[in-house]
Structure 1
Amino acid sequence: MMAERSSRGFSAAEETVLRDLLTAERVSTVTRIEVLTRAWDDIVTSAALVATDDEHDPEGATIAFERAHVQSLLDQARTHLDALDHALERLRQNAYGVCERCGDPIPLLRLQARPTATTCVRCAGR
Structure 2
Amino acid sequence: MDTAPIAARLARVDAQLAALRRDHAAILAASEASNADDEHDPEGATIAWEREQVAALITRLEGERDQLVAAAGRAADGSYGTCERCGGEIPAERLAVRPAARTCVGCG
TM-score of the superposed pair, with normalisation by structure 1: 0.78
What is the percentage of aligned positions where both structures have the same residue? 39
Q: What does residue 56 of structure 2 align with?
A: 72
Listed as ranges, the matches of 1:24-103 within 5 Å are 24-53=8-37, 55-58=39-42, 62-103=46-87
Paired amino acid for 2:12:
S
Secondary structure at 1:102's aligned position in 2? coil
> Please, which of 90, 99, 108 is the counterpart of residue 115 of structure 1?
99
Moved more, 85-94 or 95-104: 95-104
Work out the CA distance in 2 between the residues paired with 1:59 and 1:43: 17
Secondary structure at 1:118's aligned position in 2? coil
For structure 1, the 5+ residue unaligned runs are 1-14
Paired amino acid for 1:43:
I
TM superposition outliers: structure 1 runs of 4+ over 3 Å: 52-61
For structure 2, the 5+ residue unaligned runs are none
Give the superposed CA RMSD: 1.7
Residues 38 and 32 from structure 1, CA distance in 2 versus in 1: closer, same or farther, beyond 3 angstroms? same
Q: Is the 8 A contact 1:52 1:59 kept in 2?
A: no
Q: Count the aligned residue pairs.
A: 108
Q: Is the 8 A contact 2:39 2:46 kept in 1?
A: no
Q: Which has the larger radius of gyration?
A: 1
TM-score of the superposed pair, with normalisation by structure 2: 0.90
